[in-house]
């Protein structure tokens, strides 16, 4: 019954994808994908938004006492919007010693490669086998005080000394080599060159051409290392379908995105040849009206250029700071529709390929804190792959991800109730000042999600979990 319902749901998705681009782009549709799926029985066993708080915070049971206290602090800081707004205002003035004491370990992987390796082991104990490491140094606001050689050195070090060793350790412990998600290294374009924001914004102007080429070369420096690593490891593990490690180009503010798209396409052409696992992925922000058409454009360009595309789909982090509201979907409903349709389009392209690693869209990261989006992706994968081994192998090129410290209840449910293995967490790391800046941006950009995820129910969940432990003692 599970697969019959899911299969029916996937057929509904396939029919709706054909019309999704124009409808989501113009905002003319009042169709909401989750509702349509529920009508056809696809939303099987999906926890309702009014589900008991006890089940929502089951993941707390596996945390240490110090982690529980940290979560309690977050809960108190997000009880309501006025308190959260106050926290955002005073956060820059909070001494780093208190940030590290109360919230740092929940949302950041550490300051060094060794710290992040330990974070990876903690994630493994919760059933999360891999991560996307992000060195949190950037110049998105025109900051020139960044050390590019240091960033390149540390990023390559994170590939060689952090992500690759961790991935190989997970593979050696796994029963199936294709059940282990790849490791990822995020590349922030505004952290890969001096005055990168202006370079990306004016990438096609003659006076900026040389500097843009330098930015591309810096990203190539890391991506070529990753590509070589994948080729070498594939010789050792020929049964592996997914890549071992992937470079991911993070998104920027919309006014910089045309330069980012050009950067991504250059790297796709060079490091994602047909017949090989993807070594670099780009990011598409689906709250932008251009999101769905862009997926189709990238697929078309890849087909014409005989290369493959890797994608990370996000709803988008800059909605509160985007000055041009015309580029954003008119309603959240349209954004959700665009996101879920884009995910379904990519999944079908990947798993329905006639040859392993032969599809134009070759790899997908479903980066979302939405329970519904993650469940729909999982159900669609089950529906499309349960009777075909070649398709089952291709599903290893679809990975679900969330930010470290966020949507942990969703992650826990996917692992414990649905046996999902293709999971990662986005793990920021680096110098304390930059990671503190990252935490502030997460509060500013994802404040609503943070508050919905936590607040008073989280405080009560923490208190209940700690009380139960005391009683057992």
Distance CA(218)–CA(193), nearest Å, equals 7
Stated pTM of the model: 0.86
Domain layout of the chain by residue ranges: 57-108+434-472, 112-429
- Ranges of the chain whose pLDDT falls below 50: 1-54, 142-143
For domain 112-429, give its CATH number from 3.20.20.220, 3.40.190.10, 1.10.1240.10, 1.10.1660.10: 3.20.20.220
Tokens of 182: 């790849």
Q: What are phi and psi of 248, to 5 degrees?
A: -120, 120
The pLDDT value recorded for residue 59 is 82
What is the tens place of the pLDDT at every residue in 212-250?
Answer: 999 999 999 999 999 999 999 999 999 999 999 999 999
């Amino acid at each position: 019954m599970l697969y019959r319902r899911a299969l029916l749901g996937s057929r509904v998705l396939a029919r709706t994808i054909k019309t999704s681009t124009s409808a989501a782009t113009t905002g003319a549709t009042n169709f909401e994908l989750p509702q349509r799926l529920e009508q056809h029985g696809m939303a099987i066993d999906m926890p309702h938004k009014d589900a008991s708080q006890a089940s929502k915070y089951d993941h707390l049971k596996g945390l240490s006492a110090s982690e529980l206290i940290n979560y309690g602090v977050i809960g108190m800081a997000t009880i309501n919007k006025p308190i959260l707004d106050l926290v955002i205002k005073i956060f820059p003035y909070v001494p780093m010693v208190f940030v590290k004491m109360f919230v740092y370990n929940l949302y950041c992987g550490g300051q060094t490669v060794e710290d992040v390796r330990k974070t990876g082991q903690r994630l493994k104990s919760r059933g999360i086998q891999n991560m996307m490491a992000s060195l949190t140094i950037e110049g998105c606001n025109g900051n020139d005080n960044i050390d590019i050689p240091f960033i390149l050195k540390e990023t390559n070090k994170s590939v060689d000394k952090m992500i690759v060793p961790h991935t190989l350790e997970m593979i050696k412990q796994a029963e199936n080599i294709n059940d282990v998600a790849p490791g990822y290294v995020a590349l922030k374009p505004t952290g890969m060159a001096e005055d990168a924001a202006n370079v990306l914004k004016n990438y096609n102007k003659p006076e900026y051409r040389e500097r843009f080429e330098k930015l591309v070369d810096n990203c190539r420096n890391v991506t070529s290392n990753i590509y070589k690593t994948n080729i070498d490891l594939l010789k050792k593990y020929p049964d592996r379908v997914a890549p071992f490690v992937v470079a991911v180009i993070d998104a920027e503010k919309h006014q910089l995105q045309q330069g980012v798209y050009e950067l991504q396409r250059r790297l796709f052409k060079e490091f994602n040849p047909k017949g090989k696992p993807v070594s670099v992925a780009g990011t598409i922000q689906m709250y932008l009206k251009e999101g769905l058409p862009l997926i189709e454009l990238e697929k078309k360009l890849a087909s014409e250029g005989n290369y493959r595309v890797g994608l990370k789909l996000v709803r988008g982090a800059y909605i509160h700071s985007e000055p041009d509201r015309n580029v954003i979907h008119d309603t959240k409903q349209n954004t959700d529709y665009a996101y879920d349709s884009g995910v379904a389009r990519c999944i079908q392209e990947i798993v329905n390929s006639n040859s392993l690693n032969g599809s134009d869209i070759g790899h997908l990261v479903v980066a979302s804190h939405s329970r519904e989006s993650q469940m729909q992706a999982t159900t669609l994968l089950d529906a499309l792959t349960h009777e075909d081994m070649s398709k089952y192998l291709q599903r290893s090129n679809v990975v679900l991800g969330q930010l470290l410290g966020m949507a942990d209840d969703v992650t826990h449910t996917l692992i414990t109730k649905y046996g999902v293995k293709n999971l990662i967490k986005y793990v920021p790391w680096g110098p304390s000042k930059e990671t503190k800046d990252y935490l502030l941006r997460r509060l500013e950009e994802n404040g609503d999600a943070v508050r919905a995820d936590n607040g008073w129910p989280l405080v009560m969940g923490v208190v209940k979990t700690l009380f139960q432990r005391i009683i057992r003692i």
